[in-house]
Each structure stands twice: as C-alpha cells, then as structure tokens.
Amino acid sequence: MAGQLKEVRNRIKSVQSTQQITKAMKMVSAAKLRRAQDAIIQMRPYAQKLQEMLSNIVSNSEGGAGMSLAAERPVEKVLLIVITSDRGLAGAFNANTIKLAKATIAEKYAEQHKKGNVTIWNIGKKGYEHFAKNNYNADATFKDIFLNLTFENVQAASKAAMTAFEEKKFDVVELVYSQFKNAATQRFEVERFLPIPKVEKKQGTAKADFLYDPTKELLIAELMPKILNTQLFKAVLDSNASEHGARMTAMDKASENANEMLRSLKISYNRARQAAITTELTEIVSGAAALNG
C-alpha cells in the first residue's frame, strides 16, 4: 500500500511540473502572438491591394516586355514553397500544413511527382524534416528564415523563385501556408505565386483602362518583383501568427488536461490513503482482540 501511495505522489509531482511548463509556454506564445498578430493585420490590406492591382494589370495586358513572370506554360516542373514552423508543440499546425502540401501534390501534380519534377522549398524546419525523411525533393536553403524573420530574408527566397521561374526551372510556383484568423482558428491555403494569376473577367464587364506614367513596360518590370516579394512576406507573417496562436491554444488545452489529471490523481491518492488507514485500524483492532482473548 505504501508503494502505491508513493507512486501516486510521484505522478502528481510529475503532472504539476509539466503543467508549470505548459503554462509558461502559453504565456510566451501569447506575448509573441500579440506582436505577430499586429504585424500581419497591418500588412494584409496593403499586400492584398497590391496583389489585386497586379492581377488586374496582368489580366489587361497582352504579353510583351516585362511580362515574363506572368507567362503561362505547360506544367512540367513544379515548385511548392511550404511554410511551417521551426518547433513543435503547436497542436496540428505543422501536420495540417504538411498534409495540405501532400494532398496538393497528389491531386494536382501526381504525374510531375512520379517523374521527380516536384520540388519543395521549405520555410521552417518541421516541414523540411518531414519531407526529407519521406524522400521528397526537399530543399533546405530557406528553412531557417524564422531564426531571423525580416523582409530582406524573405525577399531572398522570393527573388530566387522568380529567377528560377524566368529561367524555366519551374513552370508553376505555389505557396502552401496557414492564413491567420484568430488565436484558435487558422485556414490552410494553397496560393498561386507564379505565373501571376489573372483576374477572371465576368461577362459584360468593361476592360480596365490604365494610364501608365512612365511607360507600361518600365512600371511592370519594377512593380512585379516588389509585389511578389510582399506577397511571400505576407504568407510568412500569416504562418508566423498562426503558429503562435496554435501553440498558445495547445498549451492552454494541455494545462486544462493537467488539471483534470491532477483532480483524478488526488482522488486516487485520497482513496489509497483511506484504504491504508482502514487497514491499519483493522489490524490494530484485530491485534487488541487477540490479546484480550
């Protein structure tokens, strides 16, 4: 009986120690989430308007100079830029991003994958570890961006993707990431990066008439890379906020589960103590009765 009590006491101490860790991690994630949430909320309207403007320009242009990043080609070689996190303990955040990337390959690029023509650039270590372990064509060049998350570091990845597309190393580039909604909700998205998607025109809609100053070619050549850099940076900020929100929620649930476990263990401990006391009393009474007899 004493051994059972000691075992329950050790389990209670272990759960209490774990709960202290989960509460501390929740507080850290909450502080990081506030900064990350502010960054994406300020960035998103600007990035969306730029992307809308770029798609409209591409849709109303008839090709020509400066339009290499909008060139549609038969899809033979595919690049997926998959944005995960560097650390785990964030619930299903990383698993859902990886699952979406694999589903995209299976549904849209199965033939290219069979030929070995699907490449995955990973932003975040968790994605790279998974895809490298499972024999995907995973590239680690940009996996450490979250160690120093700056626009310049993300821009390097964006420029590399644009250069590879223009050199026809890839015919399509897609982003797989988590769009931040709130601390408890993330929406996992696949978004076309290159070629620049065109806006679908509705019947009867008049063609947009833009005035260009300086020349249209010069403006497009300058605007396209800058807007694409912003688009990738927005996706990275979205994923960063999503990660901290998912981790905060996961640690909150873990702390609640620890409370439930502690309650159950304390009940078990009290029952074991009562049983031990009852046994001792029974032994004392029996011993006294035997002496009197």
CA distance 85 to 220: 33
How far is residue 159's CA from residue 228's CA, in Å, rounded to a whole number?
9
Span of 3-7, 84-88, 104-108, 119-123 with lowest mean pLDDT: 3-7
Tell me, what's the pLDDT at 250?
Answer: 92
Output the average pLDDT for the chain: 87
pLDDT in tens, 204-246: 555 556 676 777 777 777 788 888 999 999 999 999 999 999 9
Cβ atoms of 90 and 132 within 8 Å: the answer is: no
- Asked whether 244 and 33 are in contact (CB, 8 A), the reply is yes
Query: Which of 201 and 212 is assigned the larger pLDDT?
Result: 212
Identify the CA nearest to 176 among candidates 102, 229, 90. Answer: 102
At a CB cut-off of 8 Å and minimum separation 6, what does 258 contact? 15, 16, 18, 19, 22
User: So what's the pLDDT on residue 50?
Assistant: 83
pLDDT at 240: 94
Q: Do 146 and 157 meet the contact criterion of CB atoms below 8 Å apart?
A: no
Quick: pLDDT tens for 169-187.
999 999 999 999 888 888 9
Query: ∠20-26-30 over CA atoms, to 5°?
Result: 150
- Alpha-carbon span 192 to 16, nearest angstrom: 47
Q: What domains can be seen in the chain, in order of their start residue? A: 20-200+208-251 (3.40.1380.10)
Asked if the model's pLDDT at residue 254 lies above 70, the reply is yes
Strand order in the sheet with 172-182: 137-139, 118-123, 78-83, 172-182, 185-194
Residue type at position 12: I
pLDDT for 81 beyond 80: yes
Q: Distance between CA atoms of 37 and 146, rounded to whole angstroms?
A: 16
Which segments of 183-235 are extended strands (E)? 185-194
CA angle, 22 then 25 then 30, to 5° = 125
Tell me the whole-structure pTM to 2 decimals: 0.84
Over residues 22-64, the pLDDT tens digits come to 999 999 999 999 999 999 998 888 888 888 877 777 776 665 5
In sequence order, what E strands does 110-211 have?
118-123, 137-139, 172-182, 185-194
Helix 93-108 × helix 125-133 angle, to 10°: 50
- Residues 6 or more apart from 229 whose CB is under 8 A from it? 151, 154, 155, 158, 159
